């Protein structure tokens, strides 16, 4: 029996182990942690004849035929390099899912920002059309979990650069590229490498949907790509010589000259969400989804958790959770999309990138910035460097919520916005937990 080894006891690792076991592999899965919850999972998986090693770091050994890694493991980690040198096949969980689901049409959605909202919109449209189209990957289910369930009509996968670099197989029927700005350079090293990873998914896609309002995509995307469909919020002719096939005109979303639905049907704020809407509509139209289903889905779409998610109104002030804004570009868009003056909660584990536009939005729209997490001191220095003095170091989310409650009425704030411009890993396991904490604190201290 062939031997497979899975690194990481998260949802993607467990789903991958189950797919491998179903397909006849002898499976071992390991995790560096040793919590009570993991011990329970260890006992449960043992009943499925999946061996679990806790408190264990993977070391390549003879007899392993396949190594499956989670997206959090760097693709050039020394242990993976050593495994390849020993002849072990190394793949990501997404690649394993593709091998099980390659007979099903996929929509693969990537981009620096906007991919989660676009993915959720596509999923809502397909569900409104009565299609079994689970959302998976960087959002929703682990992709291998979809492979364990009854065959879907479509797979709608949000794909991060981490997942793409570890999955050379996926060939989506429709690939969508939402935006491109510098991100994850601590892992990918250069902007060119980061771009090429994302471009590789689109190059393998049968049809390609690209955001024509993104200047970097317009300049860098291969002119030789066939079956490319551009979108634009600026109309049918504003981004010449590119000819968008899906665009806004007279307040309507148009696809190839046909009116699909009013742009106002989407309740989410911000020009960036109009772009996300266009890309979702383009993908749905290319997949043959009827206009009526598209319109019904968008009309009923309430938004995405942790992305400009409205939590509550307290004394006329909107509290908004934008925890998914994990880089400067996303946080700049978030701040630009809400009412001002705003109290901004920012900080966490700092990432690289250009913060110029973000700082400019703070100067224009933020009445106060409350800094949390390990990036607080560095952010304070950056704010001082541009002459912005209205910040406070509050350290934790709880202190930030309580301080915003005190400051909001004094400053005449319209909004309290959590939009961190940082990863969450200094204080939380992921951005979802960070956003959940903000939501819970708001409900605890502010809900009447």
Residue 279 lies in a domain: yes
- pLDDT of amino acid 50: 97
Residue 22 lies in a domain: yes
**Cα Rg, the chain, nearest whole Å:** 23
Question: Looking at 299, 326, 341, which one is the last position of a domain?
Answer: 299
Q: Report the C-alpha gap between 238 and 257 in whole angstroms.
A: 15
Give yes or no: residues 438 and 317 share one domain.
yes
Residue 115 lies in a domain: yes
Give yes or no: residues 383 and 255 share one domain.
no
DSSP 426: T
Across the beta sheet with 415-418, what order do the strands follow?
A: 309-314, 317-321, 415-418, 342-347, 366-372, 391-395
Residue 109 lies in a domain: yes
Asked whether the beta carbons of 34 and 52 are under 8 A apart, the reply is: no
Asked whether the beta carbons of 321 and 306 are under 8 A apart, the reply is: yes
**pTM greater than the 0.85 cutoff:** no
**Number of structural domains found in the chain:** 3
Q: Report the C-alpha gap between 94 and 69 in whole angstroms.
A: 9
Nearest CA to 229 out of 294, 179, 177 is that of: 177
Structural domain range at position 65:
3-87
Give yes or no: residues 129 and 260 share one domain.
yes
Give yes or no: residues 221 and 323 share one domain.
no
Give yes or no: residues 400 and 419 share one domain.
yes
Asked whether the beta carbons of 124 and 301 are under 8 A apart, the reply is: yes
Question: Looking at 87, 106, 128, which one is the last position of a domain?
Answer: 87
Residue 175's CATH number? 3.40.1190.10
Question: Looking at 299, 331, 357, which one is the last position of a domain?
Answer: 299
Please give the C-alpha separations between residue 355 and each of 131, 204, 331, 378, 415, in angstroms, as whole numbers: 41, 33, 10, 12, 22
Give yes or no: residues 281 and 413 share one domain.
no
Give yes or no: residues 317 and 398 share one domain.
yes
Q: Which residues contact 8 (CB under 8 A, 6 or more apart)?
A: 29, 30, 31, 69, 70, 72, 73
pLDDT by residue, tens only, the chain of 448 residues: 899 999 999 889 999 999 999 999 999 999 988 888 889 999 999 999 999 999 998 999 989 999 999 877 888 889 999 999 999 999 999 999 999 999 999 999 999 888 999 999 999 999 999 999 999 998 868 999 999 999 999 999 999 888 998 888 899 999 999 998 755 546 555 888 888 899 999 999 999 999 999 988 988 887 778 899 999 999 988 787 888 999 999 999 999 999 999 999 998 877 889 999 999 999 999 999 999 999 999 999 988 889 888 899 999 999 999 999 999 988 998 999 899 999 999 999 998 888 999 999 999 999 999 999 999 999 999 999 999 999 999 999 999 999 999 999 999 999 999 999 999 999 998 899 999 999 999 999 998 6
Q: Which residues contact 342 (CB under 8 A, 6 or more apart)?
A: 335, 365, 366, 367, 413, 414, 415, 416, 417
Residue 304 lies in a domain: no
**Site of tokens 């350079």:** 185
Residue 387's CATH number? 3.90.190.20
Query: Which tokens in the block code for residue 54?
Result: 């806790």
Neighbours of 91 (CB within 10 A): 18
Give yes or no: residues 263 and 320 share one domain.
no
Give yes or no: residues 356 and 430 share one domain.
yes
**How many residues are present in the chain?**
448
DSSP sequence for 304-363: BTTBSEEEEEETTEEEEE-TT--SHHHHHHHHHHS-SSEEEEEESB---S--HHHHHHHH
Give yes or no: residues 291 and 322 share one domain.
no
**Site of tokens 């396991």:** 429
Please give the C-alpha separations between residue 269 and each of 193, 200, 386, in angstroms, as whole numbers: 32, 31, 28
């Amino acid at each position: 029996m062939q031997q497979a080894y899975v690194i990481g006891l998260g949802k993607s690792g467990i789903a991958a182990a189950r797919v491998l076991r179903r397909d006849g592999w002898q499976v071992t899965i390991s995790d560096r942690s040793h919590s009570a919850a993991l011990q329970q999972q260890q006992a449960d998986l043992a009943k499925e004849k999946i061996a679990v090693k806790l408190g264990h770091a993977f070391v390549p050994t003879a007899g392993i035929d396949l190594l499956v890694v989670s997206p959090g493991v760097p693709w050039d980690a020394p242990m993976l390099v050593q495994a390849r040198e020993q002849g072990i096949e190394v793949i990501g969980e997404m690649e394993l899912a593709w091998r099980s689901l390659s007979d099903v049409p996929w929509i693969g959605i990537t981009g620096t920002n906007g991919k989660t909202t676009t993915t959720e919109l596509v999923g809502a449209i397909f569900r409104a059309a009565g299609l079994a189209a689970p959302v998976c990957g960087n959002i929703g289910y682990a992709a291998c979990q979809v492979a364990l369930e009854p065959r879907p009509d479509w797979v709608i996968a949000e794909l991060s650069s981490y997942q793409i670099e570890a999955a050379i197989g996926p060939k989506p029927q429709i690939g969508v590229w939402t935006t491109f700005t510098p991100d994850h350079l601590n892992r990918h090293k250069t902007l060119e490498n980061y771009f090429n990873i994302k471009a590789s998914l689109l190059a393998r896609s049968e049809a390609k949907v690209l955001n024509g309002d993104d200047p970097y995509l317009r300049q860098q995307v291969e002119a030789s790509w066939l079956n490319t469909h551009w979108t634009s919020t600026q109309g049918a002719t504003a981004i010449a010589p590119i000819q968008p096939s899906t665009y806004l005109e007279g307040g309507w979303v148009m696809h190839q000259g046909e009116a699909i639905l009013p742009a106002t049907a989407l309740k989410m704020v911000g020009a960036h969400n109009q772009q996300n809407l266009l890309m979702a509509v383009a993908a749905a139209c290319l997949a043959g989804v009827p206009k009526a289903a598209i319109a019904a889905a968008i009309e009923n779409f309430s938004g995405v958790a942790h992305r400009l998610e409205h939590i509550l109104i307290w004394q006329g002030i909107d509290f908004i959770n934008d925890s998914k804004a994990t880089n400067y570009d996303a946080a700049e868009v978030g701040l630009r999309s809400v009412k001002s003056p705003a109290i901004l909660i920012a900080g966490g584990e700092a990432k690289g990138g250009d913060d110029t536009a973000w700082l400019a939005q703070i100067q224009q729209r933020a009445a106060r910035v409350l800094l949390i997490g390990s990036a607080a001191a560095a952010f304070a220095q950056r704010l001082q460097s541009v002459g912005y003095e209205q910040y406070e170091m509050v350290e934790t989310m709880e202190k930030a919520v309580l301080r915003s409650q005190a400051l909001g009425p004094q400053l005449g704030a319209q909004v309290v916005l959590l939009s961190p411009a940082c990863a969450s890993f200094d204080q939380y396991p992921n951005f979802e937990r960070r956003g959940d904490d903000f939501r819970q604190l708001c409900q605890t201290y502010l809900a009447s």
